[in-house]
């Protein structure tokens, strides 16, 4: 997954806190892709509407022994309307757990 894309997507939502988790999966661990489209890129726009390129997967974390080793926190800021100098400044707190 691309963390930059995930942060951009979450910034559009309400709330000021974003938590990202980096999970190291062992070989043979079961994961489920959201759809079968993760194997295609939609460069030529041939997939049906709503089916875009995705690399997201679901993981059953109840089957994994999670040990959070460290967390790092930083802040990101963006203007609500990038074309207006007087728009509201939105600050999000991002915590990355490994």
Q: Is the pTM of this model over 0.85?
A: no
Reported confidence tier of residue 25, pLDDT bands at 50, 70, 90: confident
Instruction: Output the pLDDT for position 5.
Output: 79
- DSSP state for residue 24 in the 8-state scheme: P
- Looking at per-residue pLDDT, the higher value among 73 and 26 belongs to 73
Instruction: Output the pLDDT for position 73.
Output: 92
SS (H, E, C) 25-91: CCCCCCEEECCHHHHCCCCCCCCCCCCCCCCCEEECHHHCCCCCCCEEEEEEEEECCCCCCCCCEEE
pLDDT digits (tens, 9 = 90+) for 33-83: 766 554 555 666 666 655 555 667 788 878 777 788 888 998 888 887 777
Could you give the maximum distance between any two Cα atoms of the chain, in Å? 52
């Amino acid at each position: 997954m691309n963390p930059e894309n995930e942060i951009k997507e979450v910034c559009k939502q309400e709330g000021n806190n974003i938590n990202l988790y980096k999970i190291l999966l062992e070989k043979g661990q079961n994961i489920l892709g959201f759809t079968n489209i993760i194997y295609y890129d939609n460069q030529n726009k041939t997939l049906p509407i709503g089916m875009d390129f995705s690399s997201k997967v679901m993981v059953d974390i109840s089957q994994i022994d999670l040990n959070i080793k460290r967390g790092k926190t930083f802040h990101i800021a963006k203007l609500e309307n990038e074309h207006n100098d007087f728009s509201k400044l939105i600050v999000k707190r991002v915590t990355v757990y490994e």
